[in-house]
Structure 1
Amino acid sequence: MHNPHIEESTPRQADLTGVLLAGGRSRRMGRDKARLFFAGQPLYQRALELLHRFCRHVLIAGSRPDLERPGLPSLPDRYPGSALGGLYTGLLAATTDWILVAPCDMPWPDARIVERMLTVRQGHDAVVPRTPDGYEPVFALYHKNCLGRMEEMLRQGQYRIYDFYRRIDIRYLDPPELPDGWQRSLVNINTPEQLARLLEEES
């Protein structure tokens, strides 16, 4: 069953590259999260469909030759082991000013959130959903302006995404601006127990 919200997206953006983040080690899951089956398809495919809706070009940040296909390259992280390193890999490789990033473990990515991020991005370096549970750094928009600050931190061995956010002009999307059902849309699958619970809810 496909996510119905993906079908409602706006036309592809010429200045936007899609970046699927798939360089994590899935420690808590104990196996590759990207290839977990959820609602009849590999989990990564759900995020990939959303990225293709908005972006003419899509790439994978992380060494994932098993997920590659024509027009979908995977790029080893230059600074592996962190979300910031994955964002840097994608942003450096993109030929557009902006990237839209999505993780490989999000079962219900919502195009309406992307549409809202796109409407408020002008004049900012990044647009990131922010909820009472914290930031959503891996389902967000980033501009090439971020590259210098990212590289500076990564070269110094600093990987905290929240420290990076203090160094850029960031626009947060708070719950009043998010569409109904955003709590479900921003779920990531991290453990076998969580996967089993969500599969039961979906069935």
Structure 2
Amino acid sequence: MRMVGVILAGGQSSRYGKPKMFEIYKGLPFYQHSVNALNTNSAISSVYIVTNELLSSRFDDSSASILIEKQQHNGPLHALTFALDTIEEADWFFVLASDIPFVTAELARSLIQYTTDSSIDAIVPIAGEKEQPLLALYHKRCLPYAKDIIAQNKKSMRPLLQAVRVKWIHFPDNQKDFTNINRQEEWKIEKD
């Protein structure tokens, strides 16, 4: 079994007002916390950042390879499908959004342990009542389903999760790892 990490970092950050993946938390840009959570795991052979041409030069590519989507701003399902289709050497793809600076390597390890179950196609946490499809693992088997959903002009991750076999892993509602930052005030307290 081969596993890679995929950081989704091509969004417009429209609610934030500027590219939030480059905001600094504990001396590092948001996206680097996601990269670090995956790079410290020996099960993950390499980490990729999926982004667009406009943002690509702003990433440090020393700890992750940069993949540039041809069609930008089509959402996470398109970015995931691009990664599944482009990265050929992997079976499992650990996907993290670039706006979750509190994610830990421990959380990554707790999810990776389920990849030995060949009866599942995706491993998706639920924090309280909220599904976390952008902090999850997807098997290469998801690719034809994702392509089919995109061909139907759908952009949501929900149809993919309905089409494949998902292992849902429950976590407490207040677990900080799952905090994604959409607005500046959502992490103002953490800056201090």
What is the TM-score when the length of structure 1 is the normalising length?
0.82
CA offset at residue 170 of structure 1? 0.6
* In 1, Cα distance between equivalents of 2:133 and 2:103: 14
CA offset at residue 31 of structure 1? 0.5
Question: Does the alignment pair 1:143 with 2:139?
Answer: yes
Deviations 1:132-184 (A, max 9, x none): 34111111110000000000011111112112111001101012xx7xx9611
Q: Which residue is 1:86 aligned to?
A: 79
**Structure 1: segments with no counterpart, 5+ residues:** 1-13
* In 2, Cα distance between equivalents of 1:21 and 1:79: 12
Correspondence for 2:180 among 181, 184, 188? 188
Question: Could you tell me whether the CA contact under 8 Å between 2:51 and 2:66 is conserved in 1?
Answer: no
* In 1, Cα distance between equivalents of 2:91 and 2:174: 27
* In 2, Cα distance between equivalents of 1:198 and 1:162: 31
* In 2, Cα distance between equivalents of 1:127 and 1:81: 23
* In 2, Cα distance between equivalents of 1:80 and 1:32: 13
* Helix, strand or coil at the partner of 1:50: helix
Question: Does the alignment pair 1:152 with 2:144?
Answer: no
Identical amino acids, percent of aligned pairs: 24
RMSD: 2.0
Write the letter of the residue equivalent to 1:104.
Answer: S
How many residues align structurally? 183
Write the letter of the residue equivalent to 1:72.
Answer: S
Q: Which residue is 1:37 aligned to?
A: 24
* In 2, Cα distance between equivalents of 1:188 and 1:17: 21
CA offset at residue 79 of structure 1? 6.8
**Structure 2: segments with no counterpart, 5+ residues:** none
> Using a 3 Å threshold, how does the CA distance of structure 1 residues 51 and 78 change in structure 2: closer, same or farther?
farther
Q: Which residue is 1:9 aligned to?
A: none
